[in-house]
Amino acid sequence: MALDQKIADRLRRTPDGLVPAIVQQHDTGEVLMLAWMDDEALHRTLTTGRATYWSRSRGEYWVKGDTSGHVQWVKHVALDCDGDTVLLKVDQVGAACHTGDRTCFDADVLDAHVAGAGGA
């Protein structure tokens, strides 16, 4: 089976055939990670309920949690308005990051000026 043609037609892929996938915890909105998908990875994700990605470094598919046990159970999948990014809302079991951290975004917080309400 292949990705539904209606979905495939909406995707705007990078030159190497990928779309970024932003992954959030479904009940809190916590951003967990960013990974990459091609049509097959998205198809597998939609049909199995397990988050499946394309590893650019290894050149192969990986199902989150098959090795680590840190499974991502898919609760919701959406495309952004341009069709160039996938949003996965998941129930994350254990750490999302390969470093063992809960998210990929909590280890290196950058200093930034934070604008107030109505400010730029």
Has 38 been labeled as part of a binding site?
Answer: no
Whether residue 106 is annotated as binding a ligand: the answer is no
Q: What pairs with residue 63 in β-bridges?
A: 52
**80 labeled part of a ligand binding site:** yes
CB 45 within 8 A of CB 77: yes
Write the burial class of residue 36 (CB in 10 Å: 0-12 exposed, 13-18 middle, 19+ buried): middle
User: How far is it, in rounded angstroms, from Cα 2 to Cα 9?
Assistant: 13
Q: Is residue 63 helix, strand or coil?
A: strand
Q: Is 101 annotated as a binding residue?
A: no
Residue 82 is labelled as binding a ligand: yes
81 labeled binding residue? yes
Identify the helix (H) or strand (E) that includes residue 39: helix 39-48
Known binding residues for Zn(2+) are: 81, 97, 104
Known binding residues are: 80-82, 84, 97, 104
Known binding residues for Mg(2+) are: 80, 82, 84
